[in-house]
Structure 1
Amino acid sequence: MTRLLRTAGQLAAIVLLFAAVSAFSAWPVYRQTPPGTAVLLLTFVHGSDRKAECRRLTPEEIAKLPANMRRTEVCPRRRMPLHVELDVDGRTVFAAELPPTGIAGDGASRVYRRFVLPAGEHELAVRMRDKASTRGFDHERSGRVALAPDQLMVIDFRADSGEFVFR
């Protein structure tokens, strides 16, 4: 009889635990963004120009190098930082100098920024400078987009075509 009561008690405890887990799996409701909003994601990886141009070595400099390391020109590895700006409805929401990655500073720069915006129409403008100039931008795109509630829109950069993509 005690064995039957113990088994019934264990079963009741398991059922209560299962009911509690089931209740908390659907309640309280969790949303990552407030109702009526959309997410704009600015994310890309891009390598800028090198800080300095390649330089041809003189015959004397080539002769000084070990035989297995002789080359005709030397190219510095370090890259320029990227300057990226994003405007939403005429207001700058992101502006940053993105340093190159890697120990030697020769890797691509990376950006990953998330913006929660109200659903509806927005005017977007994104600009990037990846050359050694200090004024102006090398790549720009602007446009009007309509964001639905709970929509995720990504701004990406395609290096092969040199343009920003809104999708």
Structure 2
Amino acid sequence: MGSCDFNAIKLDGLTDIQIKEKIARLLSEISDDKMPKILGLICGQSINTGKIEDELKDIPNVKTASFPCIGMIHPSFVEYGLDSGADGVFIWGCVNGDCHYREGNTWLQSRLDGKRPPILRKGVDVRRIREYWFSSIHKDKLREEINLSERELIAYEDKNPPFPPLAKGGEGGFGDKKSIFKRGVVISSIIILSMFSILFLSDMPKYPFFNKGMSLIKFTFKYSGKHRTEQRELTERETKDILMHMRRTNSPFSKIRMIGKRERLPIYVELELDNRNILSKTYYPAGLRKDIPTFAYEEFPVPPGVHHIKVKMRDSKDTNQFDYFIEKEIEVMPEKTFVMDVSPIFSEEQKIE
């Protein structure tokens, strides 16, 4: 019941369809058009339903439907009642903290407040819904609260004649055709403006160079340098006490079979452009253990035309020589970018012996 979700338990005679049919039938029995039609959804544990019928028999504009627990009420029942002609809905449940099924009243309150799904749809006028949380000893207050609800609905009608529609046609309601048209125009305008903004920004602004008429060289590489300490392959003897499936000697990958510290050496780079040194820098491996590949990225504004580039790099402990070398001529067009990715230089074929 209340300790479960509203739809967790199905009881004979209390399916969603049967409840809505009962609500429609009760409201159709109200013939008094002078007073607001009021639908009551009541917890059978908080008040004796038989006494309610006796109490309200002389109030023809009020009809009630009883539930084993108030937690069984789906917000759609409230919406359906308002859609079916009710001018107001009052909900009567157990005192907070005294639910017969633990959490029924708390969960329903959360649904009505929009804090727990399912919730009331946005078009529902919550001013036409009243909640009462009493026990059976407060049954004398039922008529008093209903009379108060009637007066509030009548006052609301005087300010908003007739009772405002819930989600259907009619001027001023949530389903007002003019309002729908206005919302459609606003949404369409936002979509069109967004599309034009995307088209504009896809080509604008143009890449900003340091100086108009200049070009740009981007120098980059990504490489895992040599290990700082010697790496050697594990032997079967060293792994004999390790479980068979955990032995690295069984791996088909040579790197996994190796043992040694994971830290890698930094990479030192010197870059010359037209016989002029423009970069001398050491790049360090990433990661807490300094074992993640080293990454470099630099930008150099240059005049357009043909340029002679020489790159020397080192990833060893010997500081007297370079391990990798590349020299080439490049042509850079005006206001264009030339990307120089030297990662392939680290392949065995381009090493300096």
Superposition TM-score, scaled by structure 1 size = 0.68
Q: For residues 58 and 162 of structure 1, do their structure 2 counterparts lie closer, same or farther at Cα, with a shift above 3 Å needed? A: closer
Residue 38 of structure 1 aligns with which residue? 215
Of 273, 293, 317, the residue aligned with 1:108 is 293
- One-letter identity of the residue aligned with 1:40: I
Gaps of 5+ in 1: 1-17
Q: Contact (CA 8 Å) 1:101, 1:107: kept in 2 or not? A: yes
Structure 2 CA distance for aligned equivalents of residues 150 and 163 of structure 1: 31
Aligned partner of 2:242 in structure 1 is 67
User: What is the number of residues matched between the two proteins?
Assistant: 145
- Measured after TM superposition, the shift of residue 133 of structure 1 is 1.8
Structure exhibiting the larger radius of gyration computed from Cα positions: 2
Q: Name the structure with the higher strand share.
A: 1
User: Identity percentage over the alignment?
Assistant: 28
Q: Partners in 2 of 1:161 and 1:38 — Cα distance?
A: 32
The one-letter code sitting in structure 2 at the alignment partner of 1:81 is P
Q: Which amino acid aligns with 1:109?
A: T
Q: Which has the higher contact order (CA 8 A, sep 6+)?
A: 1
Q: Secondary structure at the match of 1:51?
A: coil
**2:283: which partner in 1?**
98
Aligned with 1:48: secondary structure? coil
CA deviations on 1:122-153 (whole Å, 9 max, x unpaired) are 21111111223212111111122221101211
Mark the CA change 1:151 to 1:70 in structure 2 (over 3 Å): closer, same or farther.
same
Tell me if the contact between 1:122 and 1:146 (Cα under 8 Å) persists in the aligned partners.
Answer: yes
| 1:49 and 2:226 matched | yes
Q: TM-score, normalised by structure 2?
A: 0.35
Give the whole-Å Cα distance in 1 for the aligned partners of 2:286 and 2:308. 31
1:88 equivalent to 2:273? Answer yes
The aligned amino acid for 2:223 is H
In structure 2, C-alpha distance between the alignment counterparts of 1:77 and 1:163, rounded to whole Å: 25
Q: Report 1:1-167 matches (<5 A).
A: 32-33=208-209, 34-55=211-232, 62=238, 67-68=242-243, 74-156=259-341, 157-158=343-344, 159-160=346-347, 163=350
Q: Which residue type is aligned with residue 51 of structure 1? A: R
Structure with more of its chain in helix, by fraction: 2
- Aligned to 2:289, the other structure's residue is in SS state coil
CA distance in 2, matches of 1:58, 1:112: 40
Describe the SS at the equivalent of 1:100.
Answer: coil
- Write the distance in 2 (CA, Å) between the matches of 1:154 and 1:114: 9
Q: 1:55 to 1:143 in 2, by over 3 A?
A: closer
Alignment gaps of 5+ in structure 2: 1-192, 250-257
Cα distance in 1, alignment partners of residues 268 and 292 from structure 2:
15
Question: How large is the Cα RMSD of the aligned pairs?
Answer: 3.7
Distance 1:46 1:59, change over 3 A: closer
Provide the residue aligned with 2:106 in structure 1: none
